[in-house]
Amino acid sequence: MKHKTVIVKNIARLMEAGESLMTRNAGMPGMGLLWGETGYGKTTAVTWYINQVNGIYVRAMATWTPSAMLETILEELGRPHSRRIHHMIKEIVAAMAQEGRVLFVDEADYIIENKKLTETLRDIHDLTGMPVILIGMSGIQRKLRGSKQLSGRMSQWVEFQKCDIADARKVADTLCEVAITDELLVHLHGKARGSMRLMVVGMGQIEMHANNRGIGQVTLDDWLSWDTTFFIGDAPE
């Protein structure tokens, strides 16, 4: 398998939302939310996108305090920490505004459960005018609607969708070193239930079995005759 980010429809959705946030009119709020089930490709999409727009990526942690969050953002900006919270905020605001950086916060479920973290991010957004995009698991969109501080500032809501067959084909053709027939792809797609992670794991398994047998194309009949299952180690359905 090749290691590459495939530009699937969810990534196009993220790009469109990012573009709208960066080119919005003055005075318009500039926060965004991206959510979806685990394995749908959120982190991969954001990691790819920050390289296109010189964004800052941080991953929230259960143990974050406002200072821990600010220190992490400063590290990503390559700026020194300080012990004083308000110094750190000033430094971040100056750097983001001068350099025109967009901030992405992954695993943002931890953020919105914490009032201080929520307010600190809102301050960064308000003071810099730069977009701040939160990434979280399904369900975060409902919790966020209950948070007045943030929901009023959200102007882009992007839900990551299930991987469809066309995306699955694109991923197979880009990443997989053996050919997978349409019939087998549809079979794998059904088992993966929309998860990009499971699609890629399954393609890796197909490729491994094909390589062991020295064949360059795998059909559904081949796969079924090998008496194996997709996603070993996964919890049963």
Ligand X SMILES: Nc1ncnc2c1ncn2[C@@H]1O[C@H](COP(=O)(O)OP(=O)(O)O)[C@@H](O)[C@H]1O
State residue 27 phi and psi, 5-degree precision.
90, -15
Q: How many CB atoms lie within 10 A of CB 118?
A: 18
Q: Taking CB within 5 to 8 Å according to partner kind, which of ligand X, Mg ion, none is near residue 103?
A: none
Q: Does 136 bind ligand X (CB under 6 A)?
A: no
Q: Does 74 bind ligand X (CB under 6 A)?
A: no
In angstroms, the CA 132 to CA 154 distance is 9
Candidates 52-60, 143-151, 183-191, 192-200: pick the segment binding ligand X (CB under 6 A): 192-200
**Of 10-39, which residues contact ligand X (CB under 6 A)?**
11, 36, 38-39
Alpha-helix runs per DSSP H in the chain: 9-22, 42-53, 66-77, 85-99, 109-112, 115-128, 140-145, 148-151, 165-175, 182-192, 196-213, 220-225
| One of 70, 88, 158, 196 touching ligand X (CB under 6 A) | 196
Q: Whats the size of the chain, residue-wise?
A: 237
Instruction: Provide the minimum distance between the beta carbon of 158 and Mg ion in the complex, in angstroms, as a whole number.
Output: 14
Q: Does 43 bind ligand X (CB under 6 A)?
A: yes
| One of 43, 47, 155, 219 touching Mg ion (CB under 5 A) | 43
In angstroms, the CA 8 to CA 5 distance is 9
Tell me, residue by residue from 206 to 235, as one string, x for binding to ligand X by CB under 6 A and - for no binding. ------------------------------
Residues binding ligand X (CB under 6 A): 5-6, 8, 11, 36, 38-44, 171, 196-197, 200
